[in-house]
């Protein structure tokens, strides 16, 4: 009897060992095929640029290709639908986006089919990039303080351009206006490809823009950078002050992160998150992003969730100031 019992225990232990080995193998085997990053914008914007460089480096580290699929439309809703169609439950499809599909889209569209933390899960906060308040030289403004003083002295006489109603560019200036009681007209354009030339051409006196799109004009004296919309000065542009230095707590900088559909295996979330945390330390990545004023972060799901919550609250306040209404 004792021999039979010991034999049974040995068989059980062997089975457990084999099961454990299989589980470890399953975890280390991820990913088993191409990983897809779905970007809810056309090629060329900030999320797309960040996603492409990260995908390149992840391909080197994962041993499987990481490809980009651009799915613009519906302010992120089309990308979410593509995620569901591409995700058979094995964690090989993700969304890479800024936070607008989480913070702004639900504010302007009552039919949003996803809820943060329920239908769509934070995986990794890749990077943060500020936008900048800029001025045309004809205004004579060189600092954010001078901008505030000029607009207050001549209410309603100046206009600012944005990349569109409900964009982070738009909400940044509306939040500034509400906080400082400024009277400044809004002229929405279809993207920075229109708003930047409008500022340079003097059609509007002020604008909110990404620094890379303005860098050449700033260097040529055709535009002046006044302040960033981040909560702290960017390590990539430490000489540029922040709006938060005038309005304490102000932070509407752009977050770019990876998100997964509900039901994505934890092993996939953990692997992608941990690998991105290493990718953002890569000297080549740091060098490329430094030129574009993109600050690498690499925070995991919990850290990203906290930033999403903070950003959503800030955007809700800005949207209220801009009187945005859900359709």
pTM of the entire predicted model: 0.84
Q: Which SS3 state, helix, strand or coil, does residue 317 take?
A: helix
Q: 280 near 127, Cβ under 8 Å?
A: yes
Domain 132-245, what fold?
D-Maltodextrin-Binding Protein; domain 2 (3.40.190)
Neighbouring C-beta atoms of residue 27, cutoff 10 Å? 14
* Banded model confidence at residue 20, pLDDT cuts 50, 70, 90: very low
Q: Give residue-wise pLDDT tens across range 163-174.
A: 888 899 999 999
Q: Give residue-wise pLDDT tens across range 287-318.
A: 999 989 999 999 999 999 999 999 999 999 99
* Banded model confidence at residue 87, pLDDT cuts 50, 70, 90: confident
Q: Which SS3 state, helix, strand or coil, does residue 43 take?
A: coil
Residue 3 pLDDT > 70: no
| Distance of alpha carbon 208 from alpha carbon 254, whole angstroms | 12
Tokens of 7: 């034999």
Give the CATH number of domain 33-129+254-312; options: 3.40.190.150, 3.90.550.10, 3.30.230.70, 3.90.1170.50: 3.40.190.150
- Per DSSP, the chain holds a count of helices (H) and strands (E) of 12, 11
206-220 core/surface letters (b: 16 or more CB in 10 A; e: else): bbbbbbebbeebeee
Q: 166 near 314, Cβ under 8 Å?
A: no
Mean pLDDT of all residues in 137-161: 98
Mean pLDDT for the chain overall: 90
* Banded model confidence at residue 28, pLDDT cuts 50, 70, 90: low
Q: Give residue-wise pLDDT tens across range 241-284.
A: 999 999 999 999 999 999 999 999 999 999 999 999 999 999 99
Where exactly are the structural domains of the chain? 33-129+254-312, 132-245
* Domains 33-129+254-312 and 132-245 fall in the same CATH topology: yes
Could you please report the per-residue DSSP string of 183-225?
--EEEE-SSHHHHHHHHHTTSSSEEEE-HHHHHHHHHTTS-EE
Q: Sign of torsion, CA 198 201 206 212?
A: positive
């Amino acid at each position: 009897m004792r021999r039979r019992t010991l034999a049974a225990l040995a068989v059980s232990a062997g089975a457990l060992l084999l099961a454990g080995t299989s589980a470890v193998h399953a975890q280390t085997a991820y990913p088993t095929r191409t990983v897809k990053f779905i970007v809810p914008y056309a090629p060329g914007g900030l999320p797309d640029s960040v996603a492409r460089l990260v995908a390149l480096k992840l391909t080197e580290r994962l041993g499987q290709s990481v490809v980009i699929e651009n799915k613009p439309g519906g302010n992120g809703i089309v990308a979410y639908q593509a995620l569901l169609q591409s995700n058979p439950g094995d964690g090989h499809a993700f969304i890479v986006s800024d936070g607008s599909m989480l913070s702004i889209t639900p504010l302007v569209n009552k039919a949003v089919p996803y809820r943060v933390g329920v239908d769509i899960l934070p995986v990794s906060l890749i990077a943060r990039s500020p936008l900048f308040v800029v001025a045309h030289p004809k205004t004579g403004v060189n600092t954010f303080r001078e901008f505030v003083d000029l607009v207050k002295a001549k209410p309603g006489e100046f206009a600012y351009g944005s990349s569109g109603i409900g964009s982070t560019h738009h909400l940044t200036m509306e939040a500034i206006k509400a906080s400082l009681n400024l009277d400044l007209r809004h002229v929405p354009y279809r993207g920075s490809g229109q708003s930047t030339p409008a500022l340079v051409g003097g059609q509007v006196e002020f604008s909110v823009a990404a620094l890379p799109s303005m860098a050449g004009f700033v260097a040529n004296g055709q535009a002046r950078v006044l302040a960033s919309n981040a909560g702290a000065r960017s390590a990539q542009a430490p000489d540029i002050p922040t709006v938060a230095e005038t309005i304490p707590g102000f932070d509407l900088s752009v977050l770019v992160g990876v998100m997964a559909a509900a039901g994505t295996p934890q092993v996939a979330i953990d692997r992608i998150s941990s690998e991105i945390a290493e990718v953002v330390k890569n000297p080549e990545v740091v060098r490329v992003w430094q030129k574009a004023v993109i600050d690498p972060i690499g925070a995991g799901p919990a850290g990203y969730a906290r930033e999403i919550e903070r950003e959503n609250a800030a955007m809700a306040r800005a949207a209220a100031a801009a009187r945005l209404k859900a359709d």
